[in-house]
A and B are shown apart, each in its own frame.
Chain A
Amino acid sequence: MTDRPFLEISQLTARLKGSGTPLLRSVDLAVPAGSVHGLVGESGAGKSMIGKAILGILPRSVEVATGAIRLDGTDLQSLPPAERRTRVGALTALIPQDPLTALNPSRRIGPQITDRLVDILGWDRARAVDRARQLLAEVQLPDPDRILRSYPHELSGGQRQRILIAAAFAAEPRLIIADEPTTALDVTVQKQILRLIREMQERHGTAMLFVTHDLGVVSKVCQSLSVLYAGKIVESARVEDFFRAPAHTYSRALLAASPRYTDPHGSLMPVPDEVMQAVRAEVAAFDEGRAAHV
């Protein structure tokens, strides 16, 4: 582990163009090299938005207003677009949410794994194909050569997610953003995929930003986590500390509302109204404070 974190986000603010509705509110985040950081929140809390901001794939309607995103010390926001793109492409990778739509239906699997190695990193093709074969073996897909020749529709959802994981690790990125990588899969496959991601992450020593709404998943995969509400980080903590004693009331309520990560049959409690009101008031106060500063 180096002194400075591999990914460092400071004061990142994003908003809708035109109306100016804030989507991310002064987000601070640090992920040391080789460690896994969870991003937790309800849908719409902006957890995916952070990953998209790093990768440079924010929707056209969203703009980054202020803040810095540092990868290995370099602020991405200050780079010219083409350079930012290739740098992000070389250093990071995405494991997408839905394996059924994340592979191009008209291209064979092989080139979809190797294209980044050849085009962005400049490997020669034979070496890239060897690498793809090796990765497919690592993600426990039998008969890699057949798979490299296949089209996506010839493979199952679980197989495709394994391929996407292999593709993400192929270029030895320093940071992987996993955007709810198991939500689209059925429960039995979910567990296998989760285990696979953790194994791969440990073997390759890759830092990871793990976006999920499932605290149970966080407890299994992550070393640290941040809880988001309305684009604002309400709490960041080490995983052991968080599950022992969450600091924020919203975190506590969220933990209570989750299917018990230790006991899947435990009872479910909705987040109480007063907690919601409190956290909303906090966000509103934050917005006012900002407005007063500006």
Chain B
Amino acid sequence: MQLARAFLIRLLTTLVTLFGVAVIVFFVIRVVPGNPIAMMLPPGASDADIARLKALYGFDKSIPQQFVIWLSGVLHGDFGTSITRRQPVLDLVLNRLPATIELAGMALIIATIIGGFLALTGTRLRGTKTEAAIDVGSGMALSIPDFLWGLLMILLFGVLWPVLDISGRVTPSLQLPFTTQFYLTESVLRLRFDLWRDIAGHMLMPALALAIPLSAIIGQLLKQSLKETMHLDYVTLARTKGYGENHVILREALRNAILPTLTLIGVQFTFLIGGTVIVERLFSYEGLGNMAIDAVINRDLPLIQGIVIVFALLFTLINLAVDMCYALLNPRLRHG
């Protein structure tokens, strides 16, 4: 009952947040100087042509009126039409979103593996120089943002030792038999490992750039939490049963240590997705963020609106998912 109530409140604040994002984007971009309509038409178009186009995109109405029209459209699943690409915004976004989701997902997996490894090693070797080295190293790694890691990797693995592709999502000459935009996932499902190699090869550097700071954060938080857990009575009791250090860390401490770090990692993951915008640009990766920058540069108002709303939706959904994971993993909440 209480859980249901908490969930309802959570849902309401989420809706308020999304509405706030919509209002802010909508009004901010209406202030954009430069007439998007003028840019669409060949020079020397008549005033009548301009007026007709304006009416077509709804720019002839007042800004609050435009907002109401746009919002009711969104609620019906209509995000409007892109000015530069002349396609429904929703189609464009859904076409690009899978690329960004796969990139962020791969980055999260890499970050979890590296971060988990660092935390476990640091806990296992606590008090030694290895732990001190992990602390110093991850302290530095997390203060360098994804943008710089991406550039560093371009230099290292694109130029100095050119083993990976530095731009795009897939080699353009390849024939892709895919029906969805989840290239990486679908290449595995279709057992086309030749394509998988190419796609993963393109994705590895941007994913690593995004993953390195997050892995350092995960490593630090989890290690701190593990260290606190290792002092608890039930861990000591497990030692008296004859279990070794590795077993004690993995089976007794880890699960309880993960819980408090989980919420923090959820927030950090939304930061990572925010980072895809510039990292996709850096690697010319055809995802949502890259399209967003193009949309801003081209003053494609409907497209900007649509993309920002989708990002906001993604962020709030992740936070919701993290809270649910927390409830699922915590037996106290599960049975309470």
Residues on A close to B: CB < 8 A? 55-57, 60, 82, 85-90, 92-94, 96-98, 101-107, 115-116, 119-120, 151, 153-154, 164
Residues on B close to A: CB < 8 A? 127, 232-234, 236-244, 247, 252, 255-256, 259, 329-332, 335
CB of A102 within 8 A of CB of B243, answer no
Which of B127, B233, B329, B331 sits near A102, CB closer than 8 Å?
B233
Separation of A96 and B236 alpha carbons in the complex (Å): 10
Other than the given A96-B237, A97-B233, 14 more pairs (CB < 8 A) read A57-B239, A87-B242, A90-B242, A93-B240, A101-B234, A106-B255, A106-B259, A106-B330, A107-B252, A107-B255, A115-B238, A119-B243, A119-B247, A153-B331
Find chain B residues with CB under 8 A from A89 CB: 240-243
Separation of A90 and B241 alpha carbons in the complex (Å): 7
Q: Given known contacts A105-B256, A106-B256, A151-B331, is B242 in contact with A94 (CB within 8 Å)? A: no
Find chain B residues with CB under 8 A from A90 CB: 242
Separation of A203 and B142 alpha carbons in the complex (Å): 59
CB of A106 within 8 A of CB of B237, answer no
Q: Given known contacts A106-B331, A153-B332, is B240 in contact with A92 (CB within 8 Å)? A: yes
Separation of A151 and B255 alpha carbons in the complex (Å): 14
Which of B236, B241, B335 sits near A154, CB closer than 8 Å?
B335
**In the complex, how many angstroms separate the beta carbon of B128 from the nearest chain A beta carbon?**
12
Q: Given known contacts A151-B335, A153-B331, is B240 in contact with A102 (CB within 8 Å)? A: no
**In the complex, how many angstroms separate the beta carbon of B144 from the nearest chain A beta carbon?**
33
Residue of B nearest to A59 (CB): B231
**In the complex, how many angstroms separate the beta carbon of B150 from the nearest chain A beta carbon?**
38
Which of B127, B236, B240, B247 sits near A88, CB closer than 8 Å?
B240
Find chain B residues with CB under 8 A from A103 CB: 234
CB of A115 within 8 A of CB of B332, answer no
Find chain B residues with CB under 8 A from A92 CB: 240
Residue of B nearest to A54 (CB): B240
Find chain B residues with CB under 8 A from A97 CB: 233
CB of B241 within 8 A of CB of A60, answer no
Q: Given known contacts A96-B237, A104-B234, is B332 in contact with A85 (CB within 8 Å)? A: no
A-B contact pairs, 30 of them (CB 8 A): A56-B239, A57-B236, A60-B127, A82-B244, A85-B239, A85-B242, A85-B243, A88-B242, A89-B240, A89-B243, A92-B240, A94-B237, A96-B233, A96-B236, A96-B237, A97-B233, A101-B233, A103-B234, A106-B255, A106-B329, A106-B331, A107-B255, A115-B238, A115-B241, A151-B331, A151-B332, A151-B335, A153-B331, A153-B332, A153-B335
Find chain B residues with CB under 8 A from A106 CB: 255-256, 259, 329-331
